């Protein structure tokens, strides 16, 4: 019997791939909130709009929280946060990207109703 030896070079060039693998992930590069400060009366609401950069980011999910939920509460719908005044005082409304790498903060003052 004759023995034949072959050397094979494998590279990633021209490698077929699944459509899912071909989807490019666009990383988040920043998070902003508008307005950066707001006022709301006890019992009333105001909105804050968060913007994830760049526009084509793959994961635009964010989370929000109030630094003092006894003064103001916050709920999120997409990238719009609704802040409700509970009692007089000042709070920070903090938005954070899903990856935890970017934060945007809005200062909210809650004043007496009326």
CATH of the domain at 105: 2.60.40.1080
**In-domain check, residue 71:** yes
H or E element, residue 20: helix 19-22
What gap in Å lies between CA 84 and CA 56, rounded to an integer? 31
Residue 46 lies in a domain: yes
Sheet with 45-53, strands from edge to edge, namely 30-34, 45-53, 80-85, 72-77
pLDDT in tens, 35-47: 999 999 999 999 9
**pTM of the predicted protein model:** 0.78
CB 99 within 8 A of CB 108: no
**Residue 60, domain member (yes or no):** yes
Domain count, the chain: 1
Please give the Cα distance from 93 to 83 (Å, whole number): 8
pLDDT band at 87, cuts 50/70/90?
very high
Q: Tens digit of pLDDT for each residue in 45-63? A: 999 999 999 999 999 999 9
Q: Domain range holding 48?
A: 26-111
């Amino acid at each position: 019997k004759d023995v034949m030896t072959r050397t094979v070079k494998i590279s990633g060039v021209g490698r077929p791939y699944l459509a899912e693998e071909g989807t490019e992930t666009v990383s988040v590069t920043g998070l902003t909130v508008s307005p950066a400060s707001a006022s709301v009366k006890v019992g009333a609401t105001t909105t804050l709009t968060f913007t994830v950069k760049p526009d084509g980011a793959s994961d635009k999910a964010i989370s929000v929280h109030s630094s003092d939920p006894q003064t103001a509460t916050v709920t999120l719908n997409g990238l719009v946060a609704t802040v409700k005044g509970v009692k007089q005082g000042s709070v920070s409304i903090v938005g954070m990207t899903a990856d935890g790498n970017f934060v945007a903060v809005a200062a909210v003052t809650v004043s007496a109703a009326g």
